[in-house]
Structure 1
Amino acid sequence: MNKRIVAGIEVEASTGNVFADLGLPDAEKLQIKSGLTVEIAKAIRERGLTQAEAAQRMGLTQPKVSSLLRGEFSNFSERKLMDCLNRLGYDIEIRVRKTPEPVGHLVLTHA
């Protein structure tokens, strides 16, 4: 990472994945789940849904929606989060492409 001094304080540029910056295992997976969770929260807000209404549409309980909206996504699989977005009216496209690197990466992009 790139370190520099700003106003007398050493700062380090992010890799773009806060989970990797913190040294957490499965950082790419956590970033994907976090991004999906943000999209779910935006969809609920844009549609003006209550937590109960969102829960019904996503096939969850209201307490699970509440947890999800507080950023507690560790108990959800990526597939379940994608299913929630589908049920909220979102299409999800998965694109696979070859990379020049020895190991590929998971990336969430927004349209």
Structure 2
Amino acid sequence: MKKRLIDGIEVQQGSGNVYADLGLPDAEKLKIKTGLVIEIRKAMRSLGLTQQEAAKRMGITQPKVSGMMRGDFANLSERKLMDCLTRLGYDIEISVRPAKAALGHLVLASA
């Protein structure tokens, strides 16, 4: 990673995945799950849903929605988070193409 000094403080540019920068296992999975949770939060806000209403639509409990809103989504799989988004009226499109580098990566893009 690129390092430089700003006002005498060493600053290091991130990789684009804070979880990988912190050396956490499953960093790519955490990045995707975080992106999905962000989209769920946006959907809830734009639909004007309470946690209880959102829980009912997504097919999960209100305490799980509350945990998700606080950043605790370890107990929810990527698949379940995608299911939550579709139940909120969103389409999910997965695109597969050859990678530009030797090792491919996952990207979550929102419209």
TM-score, length-normalised on structure 2? Answer: 0.96
Segments of structure 1 that go 5 or more residues without pairing to the other structure are none
CA distance in 1, matches of 2:68, 2:13: 28
Deviation at 1:104, TM superposition (A): 1.3
Within a 5 Å distance, the mapping from 1:83-94 to structure 2 comes to 83-94=83-94
- The total of aligned residue pairs comes to 111
Give 2:77's aligned residue. Answer: 77
Equivalent position SS for 1:67: helix
CA distance in structure 2 between the aligned counterparts of 1:100 and 1:14, rounded to whole angstroms: 20
Pairs within 5 Å for 1:48-63:
48-63=48-63
**Alpha-carbon deviations, 1:52-97, whole Å to 9, x = none?**
0000000011000000011111111100000000000100000001
> C-alpha separation between the residues in 2 aligned to 1:34 and 1:66?
15
Q: Which residue of 2 aligns with 1:44?
A: 44
Q: SS of 2:11's equivalent?
A: strand
SS in 2 for 1:14: coil
How big is each residue's C-alpha offset from its partner over 1:9-49, in whole Å with a ceiling of 9 and x where there is no partner? Answer: 11100101000110111111100000000000111111110
The TM-score normalised by the length of structure 1 is: 0.96
Match of 1:21 in 2: 21
